[in-house]
Amino acid sequence: MAVTNQPGSFPPSDFQTGLCDCCDDIGTCCFGLWCYPCLGCSIASAMDECCLCGLGMPIRAVYRTKYNINGSLCNDFLVTSCCRLCATCQLKRDIIRRKQQGLF
């Protein structure tokens, strides 16, 4: 029998909220709107990374890989280039939900 998943790995999934679901968590949206670098730092801190790494495509790609979230580097680049605030808020919402589920 072939092993298709590594022990402890996550099944393939999507982000738990949509890119434009800012109304699902107004607090995170406002946090990003008024202090975007602080939001990035909180994401990086939650992932045990340097605060300078919390924004943009690299942190999104690392997170997607860690939790086996569907997507690609090209998609990460496009989303973070065109919708930087929405992409960062989506990532923070996903972290919050995974913490609530005990998966983070």
pLDDT digit string, tens, across residues 14-50? 999 999 998 889 999 999 999 999 999 999 999 999 8
Average pLDDT over the chain, rounded to an integer? 90
Statement: residue 100 has pLDDT above 60: yes
42 belongs to a structural domain: yes
pTM assigned to the model = 0.87
Print the domain residue range for 43.
22-100
Would you say residue 67 lies in a domain?
yes
Residues 45, 20, 35: CA angle, nearest 5 degrees = 40
Asked if residue 80 is part of any domain, the answer here is yes
Q: 7 in a domain, yes or no? A: no
Q: What residues contact 44, with CB distance under 8 A and at least 6 apart?
A: 50, 51, 52, 53, 54, 59
The verdict on residue 4 lying in a domain is no
